[in-house]
Amino acid sequence: MKSSNHIVLVTGATGGLGTAMCKELFQNGYRVAANYRNKSKAEEWKAKMDAEGIEVHLFEGDVTDYESVGKMVADIEASLGPIDILVNNAGITKDGRFSKMSPEDWKAVISTNLDSVFNCCRHVINGMIDRKFGRIINISSVNGQRGQFGQANYSAAKAGMHGFTKTLAMEVAKYGVTVNTISPGYIGTDMVMAVEQKYRDAIVAQIPVGRLGGTHEVAHLVSFLASDGASFITGANYSINGGQHVY
């Protein structure tokens, strides 16, 4: 569905999923603000996007820092206009058995994956309420739904994202703002494809459809939830995992 030139902010834009989202959203008529932290990586990434005819606008911001996000949002709104759609995609992993997990690894994952959702939403939500339109899409994980050995920090953060989604969705529904979660399973990002073949084969063996998901498939769902046609969907968690976890 083509947008009406809405402005969308994608956090963690330069990763595999973020890249696919930016491409899909641009191709569907959105004006894309792409968040980054690493300037040299972001500039290289943008050059590749430019070469493909994908127009994105880079904005630096540390999503773990409330004030940094505030500055980023102000820069976006001064340059492009009000943010209509927010995709909370930034995330990291620092895996390890909980009995050996350091406080630093716990805090880093909670901060990047969950505190970032508060920071970004808090800076855009009042504008969305005032304009009577908004879309917030939180990128969680199948491992926030079912748990995963060695990912107490990650699973806690990703499960927390959907708890946040449900409550915020209820609070802002009457203002024309929707809030939803997407929980991908194993997707064929560069990080996953770098895993040794035998381990990838073991992962695929657990997926009923018999393959990894495509980044473009997650991006397509993001674009749908961002659209005007999804205005009656809110507080939902969309599983996109090839049947690996169903309930």
Geometric angle at alpha carbon 184, from 4 and 163, rounded to 5°: 85
20-71: pLDDT as tens digits: 999 999 999 999 999 999 999 999 999 999 999 999 999 999 999 999 999 9
User: Known catalytic residues?
Assistant: 154
Residue 175 backbone class (left: φ over 0; alpha: ψ -120 to 50; beta: rest): alpha
- pLDDT exceeding 90 applies to what percent of the chain? 89
73-118: pLDDT as tens digits: 999 999 999 999 999 999 988 989 999 999 999 999 999 999 999 9
Query: In terms of Cα–Cα distance, which of 178, 233, 182 is closest to 21?
Result: 182
CB of 125 closer than 8 Å to CB of 171 = no
Contacts of 51 (CB under 8 A, 6+ apart): none
Q: Taking residues 180-192, report their average pLDDT.
A: 92
**Helix (H) / strand (E) containing 179:** strand 177-184
Q: How high is the pLDDT of residue 4?
A: 62
Question: What's the CATH architecture for 7-187+214-240?
Answer: 3-Layer(aba) Sandwich (3.40)
Q: How high is the pLDDT of residue 193?
A: 86
